[in-house]
Structure 1
């Protein structure tokens, strides 16, 4: 198959696995709001072109909870790899190079190991270096660095909110030795941005101290930025339990009834579907309960305030941003 399929329910997911048969199937448990998932979908699309006999599927983790729970999905992106309908491997996080390596190994194609000539190895290194906008070649992973320099590098990038993928050079001796010659850089970790070598730990430290690291590397989306984006998704945004069609608590149901009589369009966000937003918005807005109503990015309040505005006749003008 030459494209990434999308499973929107459990039956579709099971059908895609069944059609894959004994061939490899790669399932990306994703979230539309997470930029790293979008980045990894691009990686999936490229892998789909290279491995025509494999099946590549993306699945919105929160929308198909029974499948996510079955495979213990606690964060996105997460990748589960199947053969013959059985799970054979797993990858947690946006590690493009690691995913590429796993797919190449399980799909039975890709660059040969050990016996590749220099040209083949260089092509493979180029693909790994360009697997993500910011690639860190290190010992171990972000969760488990295997040396002090790698540990310091990961901590530094995280401290400066850099969005990056990693490749564990301890898992591939050919890459470990080949990259030293390819980049003319004898030690690890090595950081690449947009396919170009930035350097090792000392250089990244210097960039951080000079304030240049933020402009050199792509930044991860912070929770605050994400909250602002959601709040401003519509001129009138209601954060509630449930949605317009099915409120999941009495307070949310009551505020919907009031807003529906105001004759002003509004959008909703179900805080039960996103624990990060549910907890983060309380701190961001300094408002400990739900529902919460925002107009043009500004907090109006909860149910009691909306009721007061309705009784005073001010609600419609407030919703239109006129007062």
Structure 2
């Protein structure tokens, strides 16, 4: 496909990239960090070409992530495709993965917002409340804290993590130090000025003092959901779908070469499968190695049984058995 449109440019050096950003000034620039080996990048380039026709005032840049590493490293690009949005040489937004509708939406929104810099401050408020609502409801028990359960970044957070652990409470956490908008917004949203904060089923329970009181009175277990054992959790994830692949990344964006190769083999069979990204969940990543006595990833399960990793899947494909194994026939 030719990319001869004036506002659709391929960039091959960091100097060229910097120059282009300066040249585009206040108008929107969309940068696609891509890789020639990834079919989803090719698809997204086609999407960009269409958008370039519709949005002549927006500049679209295609950049081979591995060919211009200094730019990729500067903007922490760890997978392809990733899209960054710039105005006045500043990064204003980011989109990870091959989501054509989302890309189109962002381009339209950011291109049009150029016209209303002054009055454009109001709408995001609603977005923040929506975001907070989603975070609060992300798990039955949510802890908003400084740092992570593994590395709490303040004494109160450390104490609350210990109490939840001692009482075998299952919870997910959010590091408020990683997101100033959430940190400030949640105080207003819940009318609670300090951290940590614990929510159960979307309702604020309170901070450290209240959690301590609940623990002392024996009510904490009734307030918060009890932990499901790791083994039980692993079993339920393994059986989430008849064919489950545990990998680094997901179907759209594989985060390592072995995962990328196994996805290609799986896609070639036409059999439906689900994936689980072990990079998102350290507990599963470590626990599954012990559970299945298999030290590496990716790992493929069919109907709850471990088939093996990339080598075994390749062998099964070569011997023509993969199809029937995935369908649980042999």
Provide TM-score, normalisation by structure 1.
0.44
Provide TM-score, normalisation by structure 2.
0.43
